[in-house]
Chain A
Amino acid sequence: MKHLTLTIVLLFLSISAFSQKYVFSGKVLIKGTNDPVEFATVVMTDKELWAVANEKGEFVIKGVSKGKTKVEISCLGYASRDFEIDVTKDITNTKFYLEEDDLTLTSAVVTAKENVNSATTSRTIDRTALEHMQVVSVADITSLLPGGQSLKSSNLTDGALQRIEIRSNEKSLSSFGTAVEVDGIRLSNNSSFSETQGASTKNVASSNVESIEVITGVPSVEHGDMTNGIVKINTKKGKTPLMATISMSPNTKQYSISKGIDLGGKTGVLNISAERTKSIAQLASPYTTYDRNNLSAIYSNTFMSGDQPVKFSAGVTGNLGGYNDMADPDAFKDTYKKVKDNTIRGNFSLNWLLNKQWITNVELTGSIVYSNQMSTENTNKSSAGSTSSLHGMTEGYFVSTPYSVNPDAEVILRPAGYWYEKKFVDNKPLDYNIHLKVNWAHDFGSIINKVKLGINYTGSGNLGEGAYYEDLSLAPDWRPYPYNEVPFINNIAAYAEDNITIPIGTTSLNLIGGIRSEWTMINNSGYGTVNSLSPRFNAKYNIFRYNKSRVLRELSARASWGVAVKLPSFSVLYPAPSYYQVQVFAPATTADGSAYYAYYILPKTIEYNPDLRWQKGQQSEIGIEADVAGVKVSLSAYYNKTLNAYTSLQTYTPFTYKWTDQRNLESCPIPSANRIYEIDQKSGVVTVKDKTGAIADRILEYKDKNMFVSQTTMVNEPIPAVRKGIEWVIDFGQIKPIMTSIRIDGTYYHYRGYSEVINSNYPNAVTMSDGVTPYQYVGYYVGSDNMTSNGSESARVRNNVTFTTHIPKARLIFSLRVESALYTYTHNISEYSGGQIVYPIGKDNNLPIGTEFNDIYTFAAKYPLYYSTFSDPDTKIPFLEKFIWAKDNDPKLFSELNQLVKKTSSNYYFRGNVISPYFSASISVTKEIGKIASLSFYANNFFNTTAKYHSSQADLETSLFYSEYIPRFYYGLTLRLKI
């Protein structure tokens, strides 16, 4: 064995040491004019070698090892070329021609292109497609994915539409798991305190996007902090003429200008772009707006250091804008809401081609994103009597005190009258990232091997002050929670990946294996440092290389498996502290309208969960790509599990406070006008004092009140949510006589998820059967404590057909896209490994009348597994057994326990809901006017269908018009000029 190992090592060393090196050089020219294409990038992808063409279009790549490699030549404004060469000797003085990227090209496409060279599912949407669909928000591109649906509207004021979700249909957490990057800068929402959702893409200038790559399969281990895939947005970089764009739709207007300036000599290129986009919420009242004012400057250059070029790029992008309804004349005087969406993103990247024996190139990238998302809301308020605002953060009993007397009082007495309440939420996320990656490409004979090693450091924090009020004397209940005092999350990831391509006869096998290890450091918190591992594997087998003479011209198959970790957001790690507060005394309202209420305040400390594990996505995928007689087919099937999903857990503990009845004041001899109310912070005893001192203090009697208080902890869901599906794209190519191509894309998607977390619930708004005693029981439920179901199942089949007519001579491209939802299914489910938790119930009471409740018309109830009492909180009493017993033996208990039963609001709640098929159609047309202008028009849901859909759950028929299922009818026009 030792000898074998030694032999292999020596063999490798010998191959390395004595392998022959060659030169690959040539010129990149414009087809037709033979003018040089300066800044064209030539990449030998299998060897990780590259060069940038000079002002004469010349490029040189030295030290090229023997063997086959793919070559890609690209430059902004030109159609990219890729081909394969077999390096067996020096290849010099070769000329490569690029064509200008416009509609005269027969290869222009307006749909998402499959990245056939990728070992996982990946698609690219290029500028032609983006311009044709007139993207206002980059989130619009999800409609171009298989089975994608046009967005409901082109309205940027609707924040919910601006998040990207991949291979999911459930809100919030799925967008949270989808990563979005702009030029390598991650748009993170981790430091949000108010939501656990993916980052909004509203402030990304869509007019400056050159291409978008969407990886829906298992990505490389260099990508972390995501579970549902990654969207990589590339902005324009390179020399361009001055370009101006005007885009109009009923809700949105966009103006942009950009230019890639050649700084002359060898000083590089500076891309500058500016965009202004304004969206209005409603056409009838165009005063609620979202503004995007984006300015971007990106410098790029290639420096030569001997034979080792360094490609450098640095950019800064800023946005000023946000949501504002201040101008709305329908709003009451001086009431408004504004939310800033100001951001500045800076980044650099440095790619140094060393081309050494044991290292090919080094990439260093860094970015920093600082945003100001300050919201300001001014609302008018009024009250007939004084009100109490609770600001106290310490435990105890407190009487309300006028702000003028004690501005630091725990309970502030706000006088009666009219006032404005101006609230600010200062939210300033800061994210930074530095990433060092080393690539080593080496051929072992005909085997191509590429190794990737990297280390990535990221940090997220928030520099905002959190929520506060302009005038504390008029503020409602409030406690400071400065975001900037919350520790940053820092994450170090190290990864290694090997990518090996093995030729097997005329076929080849590509294997990628990698592992990513992360250490997440949350200083000064209960979490400390958390480690997680993400192994990922991809395999692709090119069974048939392209051969036009066969019916099955090309065929490849691939499989992937991987784990990805999503870091928690601040809303998970640091939920805002909450306070339990209860009114304990209420002396009568005085003549000036003041009521000196007393409260008990109990701070609820943040419950760190030391056992909290990071949410993981486990992705499995298989796929094939084939070319059958010119029809390109791409099929993917996936099975994704979300493990350890974050969920909140409520726990209740018994709690007793002292309650002083106002009636105890009736016999108080101190005149009302002279009374001073004091309450002992610890004991809760109320003392009435005489301002004049003439009458002795009067201590009021009290009684104890027993109830429960809650505590929230974030925990992991033990049951994985499963998403599985099939995606298909069938591209029939162009039917030459009518210059029309047909593409069918679609998806089958299925989701099933439920919770087995045992959550408790205490109905604090009800009393015991005497009508006075606070409720004394806590119920323990499987899953959600406020819903009858504990999960859901959904499925859908969507299929789109796109007809694209492209007439290169006329510089015209027209597309008609018919979107169909053939099957849409949702079902509330109740599932628990410990037995049945939901039963059908009759009309008379909440007792079970059987066991079947699914897919039939019946009211149903979820019972707690057990309940506990105030007097004996540790004993958990089986609920249903006691409830049934109480029906005949203890009517009062039966009535009281009834409060813990969670019933369905309808008799069809547990019926599956199948929505009948529905359709919509959209058109887009783009026409170039010479080389200087192009015009695009689109109309989504242009039939503005008013057909009805059938919903099987309640057997209802409803109009699709303005429904949640179909896009609104909207349209837009864009004019682009090149000067």
Chain B
Amino acid sequence: MKKLLTILFCALVALTLCSCHKDDPYKTYNVTVSLEYPVGSEFTAVAGVTVTAKNTTNEMEYSSVTDANGTAVLAVVAGMYDISAFETRASAGTAVSFNGIKSGVTVTKDWEKNPLPVNVTMIESEAKQIIIKEVYIGGCPKNDGSGSFAYDKYMVLYNNSPIDADLKNLCIAIPLPYNSSGTNNDYVNGVLSYESQHKVPAGHGYWSFGTNAPILKPYSQVVVVIAGAIDNTQTYVNSVDLSDASYYPCYDPESGYNNTSWYPVPSEKIPTSQYLKAYKYGSGNGWTTSVASPAFFIFITPDGVTPQSFFEDTSNENLYNNLAVMKRKWVPTDWVIDAVEGFKIGATNNQKRLIAEVDAGNIPFINNKGYSIYRNIDKAATEAYPGNTGKLVSGYSLGTSDVEGGTTDPSGLDAEASIKNGAVIIFMDTNNSTNDYHMRKQAALRK
């Protein structure tokens, strides 16, 4: 009997051990990441830079900091990761940002045997004058519950500098493919084909202020109405009144953007001189902005190039996926002054459309709820700004909780309330949407 029990016990142990041969899903692997700084830059690797690995499937994040050689070791479980790093340094009074991202790093159970070096190229960028302060694009619920209304779209451009900004030759563009989720044929071996070519694609068309471009005073803003430059709140109480006389509507029916749902003729309060001019080369009669994963970039054509001459230049044309209906133009990255990129919440296949040189992060976004993408405040700079004492309003409560942990302005300051209170706000500008934006519960222009 005893023998039998012994044999039985041994068998159970053997079975248990066999069962242990299964892969442990929680086993971690060390990934060594080296940050590479631009050759010739005055800046080199330093200790203490945070490196983050984000699992592209379950969005779990792992972080570590670099040593003095710019190397960080991250312990991650098997999976596919986007590995990124960000830091800001000061140089002669100007903030210089470094962004780097390496997409599609796959860690498998063989990693221990064959670890691969992960080098993240850090892109240097300086803060620019004009930034995208807010994007409201995703629509809001209709009064009767029959769905959402999304023909109310705007973008706020902000002069984040102490000197006047001329918006002449400033153009507003979107990348193509339009959405972050879904197939992106620009990816070759997990990397955007134009990643290292210092250019980004402007899809479908772009808008420019033209000859009547405003001059933006320091720390002031201009509202660009992307669609629906009328009082939308007369029908949709959750929407935004975009009929203000100071707004600049995207309205140019001669260009071919003449869908009257997208482009009702703007309110009589808005002078026609404020209408933006369209440069359309895509098909269809509306500028195809994504409502679920919006991405925008603004660029200024350099001396000798106008928005019109850039439009007429066929040498910069490209067809996404070789399709005539997917025409786009390559914009050099040194023309780009700011960008924002949203990722669709709930999608597991979000991929960057903008390269790190332009924007290295992403802001999770969900449409149809009346949310906007709003810029975070550079708290230190804002608090240090002369005259702001006592004018800054804290207790910001318009963050959202649609993603785990929620998104809000880490400064805790309420930018809009502070501005009304007479404060000057300086926004974050790190060329990284992850750091620079949060998803706001309510469009700032909504009364």
Q: Which residues on A are within 8 Å of B, measured CB to CB?
A: 332-333, 380, 382-385, 387-388, 416-418, 583, 586-593, 595, 597, 659, 661-663, 665-666, 672, 763, 765-767, 769-772, 841, 843, 846, 859, 891-892, 894-895, 898-899, 901-903, 905
Are the C-beta atoms of A591 and B268 separated by less than 8 Å? yes
**Residues of chain B within 8 A of A665, CB atoms compared:** 272
- Of chain A, the residue at the smallest CB distance from B236 is A384
**Residues of chain A within 8 A of B283, CB atoms compared:** 763, 765-766
Are the C-beta atoms of A583 and B258 separated by less than 8 Å? yes
Are the C-beta atoms of B284 and A587 separated by less than 8 Å? no
- Since A384-B151, A595-B264 are in contact, a sample of 12 more A-B pairs with Cβ atoms closer than 8 Å, ordered by chain A residue number, is A384-B230, A387-B261, A583-B260, A588-B266, A589-B264, A595-B260, A597-B265, A666-B273, A766-B281, A771-B312, A859-B322, A902-B324
- Of chain B, the residue at the smallest CB distance from A765 is B283
Are the C-beta atoms of B279 and A771 separated by less than 8 Å? yes
Are the C-beta atoms of B239 and A384 separated by less than 8 Å? yes
Q: Which are the 3 A-B pairs with shortest beta-carbon distances?
A: A588-B268, A385-B264, A895-B314
Are the C-beta atoms of B264 and A898 separated by less than 8 Å? no
Contact mask for chain B residues 274-296; partner A; CB cutoff 8 A; 1 contact, 0 none: 00001111011100000000000
Q: Which residues of B, 249-275, contact A by the 8 Å Cβ criterion?
A: 253-256, 258, 260-261, 264-268, 270-273
Q: Which residues of B, 219-255, contact A by the 8 Å Cβ criterion?
A: 228, 230-232, 234-236, 239, 243, 253-255
Are the C-beta atoms of B324 and A898 separated by less than 8 Å? yes
Interface pairs (12), CB distance under 8 Å: A332-B145, A333-B146, A382-B236, A388-B260, A583-B253, A589-B265, A589-B267, A591-B267, A766-B256, A766-B281, A903-B324, A905-B321
Are the C-beta atoms of A384 and B260 separated by less than 8 Å? no
- How far is B260's CA from A586's CA once the two chains are assembled, in angstroms? 10
Shortest CB-to-CB span from A474 to chain B, Å, is 14
Are the C-beta atoms of B278 and A771 separated by less than 8 Å? yes
Shortest CB-to-CB span from B144 to chain A, Å, is 6
Are the C-beta atoms of A589 and B268 separated by less than 8 Å? yes
Q: Which residues of B, 339-396, contact A by the 8 Å Cβ criterion?
A: none
Q: A385-B230, A418-B144, A898-B324 are in contact. Are A588 and B311 (CB under 8 A)?
A: no
Shortest CB-to-CB span from B207 to chain A, Å, is 12
Shortest CB-to-CB span from A139 to chain B, Å, is 36
- How far is B236's CA from A383's CA once the two chains are assembled, in angstroms? 9
Interface residue tally of chain B, by bracket?
A: 35 or more
Are the C-beta atoms of A417 and B279 separated by less than 8 Å? no
Are the C-beta atoms of B144 and A891 separated by less than 8 Å? no
**Residues of chain A within 8 A of B256, CB atoms compared:** 765-767
**Residues of chain A within 8 A of B239, CB atoms compared:** 384
- How far is B266's CA from A595's CA once the two chains are assembled, in angstroms? 9
Q: A593-B230, A771-B255 are in contact. Are A387 and B271 (CB under 8 A)?
A: no
- How far is B48's CA from A928's CA once the two chains are assembled, in angstroms? 85
Q: A583-B258, A766-B283, A859-B322 are in contact. Are A891 and B235 (CB under 8 A)?
A: no
Query: SS class of chain A's interface: helix, strand, loop or mixed?
Result: loop
- How far is B263's CA from A588's CA once the two chains are assembled, in angstroms? 11
- How far is B284's CA from A387's CA once the two chains are assembled, in angstroms? 19
- How far is B59's CA from A152's CA once the two chains are assembled, in angstroms? 40
In this assembly, does B154 line the interface, its C-beta being within 8 Å of a C-beta of chain A? no
- How far is B255's CA from A418's CA once the two chains are assembled, in angstroms? 30
- Of chain B, the residue at the smallest CB distance from A386 is B264
Shortest CB-to-CB span from B14 to chain A, Å, is 35
Contact of A903 among B151, B255, B322 (CB under 8 A): B322
In this assembly, does B109 line the interface, its C-beta being within 8 Å of a C-beta of chain A? no
- Of chain B, the residue at the smallest CB distance from A860 is B322
Shortest CB-to-CB span from B42 to chain A, Å, is 39
Query: SS class of chain B's interface: helix, strand, loop or mixed?
Result: loop
In this assembly, does B143 line the interface, its C-beta being within 8 Å of a C-beta of chain A? yes
**Residues of chain A within 8 A of B234, CB atoms compared:** 384, 416, 592-593
- Of chain B, the residue at the smallest CB distance from A416 is B235
Shortest CB-to-CB span from B20 to chain A, Å, is 32
**Residues of chain A within 8 A of B272, CB atoms compared:** 588, 662-663, 665-666
Contact of B253 among A332, A586, A846 (CB under 8 A): A586
**Residues of chain B within 8 A of A595, CB atoms compared:** 260, 264-265
A385, A586, A590, A859: which has the most chain B beta carbons within 10 Å?
Answer: A385
- Of chain B, the residue at the smallest CB distance from A582 is B258
- Of chain B, the residue at the smallest CB distance from A899 is B324
Contact of B235 among A382, A765, A772, A905 (CB under 8 A): A382
**Residues of chain B within 8 A of A661, CB atoms compared:** 254
Shortest CB-to-CB span from A770 to chain B, Å, is 7
Contact of B315 among A763, A766, A846, A891 (CB under 8 A): A891
- How far is B232's CA from A484's CA once the two chains are assembled, in angstroms? 43
Q: A384-B234, A662-B265, A663-B272 are in contact. Are A772 and B314 (CB under 8 A)?
A: no
- How far is B271's CA from A770's CA once the two chains are assembled, in angstroms? 24
Q: A417-B235, A892-B314, A895-B314 are in contact. Are A387 and B267 (CB under 8 A)?
A: no
Q: Which residues of B, 116-164, contact A by the 8 Å Cβ criterion?
A: 142-147, 149, 151-152
- Of chain B, the residue at the smallest CB distance from A593 is B234
Contact of A772 among B147, B243, B255 (CB under 8 A): B255
- How far is B147's CA from A905's CA once the two chains are assembled, in angstroms? 33
Q: A666-B271, A771-B280, A892-B312 are in contact. Are A593 and B265 (CB under 8 A)?
A: no
**Residues of chain A within 8 A of B314, CB atoms compared:** 769, 891-892, 894-895
In this assembly, does B323 line the interface, its C-beta being within 8 Å of a C-beta of chain A? yes
Q: A587-B265, A597-B265 are in contact. Are A418 and B143 (CB under 8 A)?
A: yes
**Residues of chain B within 8 A of A663, CB atoms compared:** 272-273
In this assembly, does B414 line the interface, its C-beta being within 8 Å of a C-beta of chain A? no
**Residues of chain B within 8 A of A895, CB atoms compared:** 314, 317
- How far is B272's CA from A765's CA once the two chains are assembled, in angstroms? 24
**Residues of chain A within 8 A of B321, CB atoms compared:** 905
Contact of B144 among A380, A588, A846 (CB under 8 A): A380
**Residues of chain B within 8 A of A383, CB atoms compared:** 235, 261
- How far is B265's CA from A590's CA once the two chains are assembled, in angstroms? 10
Are the C-beta atoms of B266 and A901 separated by less than 8 Å? no
- How far is B377's CA from A120's CA once the two chains are assembled, in angstroms? 85
Are the C-beta atoms of A384 and B264 separated by less than 8 Å? yes
B143, B280, B285, B324: which has the most chain A beta carbons within 10 Å?
Answer: B324
**Residues of chain B within 8 A of A672, CB atoms compared:** 268
**Residues of chain A within 8 A of B254, CB atoms compared:** 659, 661, 772
Are the C-beta atoms of B323 and A418 separated by less than 8 Å? no
**Residues of chain B within 8 A of A902, CB atoms compared:** 324
Shortest CB-to-CB span from A861 to chain B, Å, is 9
Shortest CB-to-CB span from A530 to chain B, Å, is 41
**Residues of chain A within 8 A of B266, CB atoms compared:** 588-589
**Residues of chain B within 8 A of A898, CB atoms compared:** 324
Shortest CB-to-CB span from B225 to chain A, Å, is 12
**Residues of chain A within 8 A of B273, CB atoms compared:** 663, 666
Shortest CB-to-CB span from B228 to chain A, Å, is 6
**Residues of chain B within 8 A of A859, CB atoms compared:** 322
Shortest CB-to-CB span from A122 to chain B, Å, is 50
- Of chain A, the residue at the smallest CB distance from B317 is A895
B270, B273, B308, B323: which has the most chain A beta carbons within 10 Å?
Answer: B323
Q: A384-B234, A416-B235, A597-B260 are in contact. Are A903 and B323 (CB under 8 A)?
A: yes
**Residues of chain B within 8 A of A583, CB atoms compared:** 253, 258, 260
- Of chain B, the residue at the smallest CB distance from A332 is B146
**Residues of chain A within 8 A of B270, CB atoms compared:** 588
B228, B235, B264, B266: which has the most chain A beta carbons within 10 Å?
Answer: B264
Are the C-beta atoms of A586 and B311 separated by less than 8 Å? no
Q: A583-B258, A765-B256, A903-B322 are in contact. Are A418 and B264 (CB under 8 A)?
A: no
- Of chain A, the residue at the smallest CB distance from B254 is A772
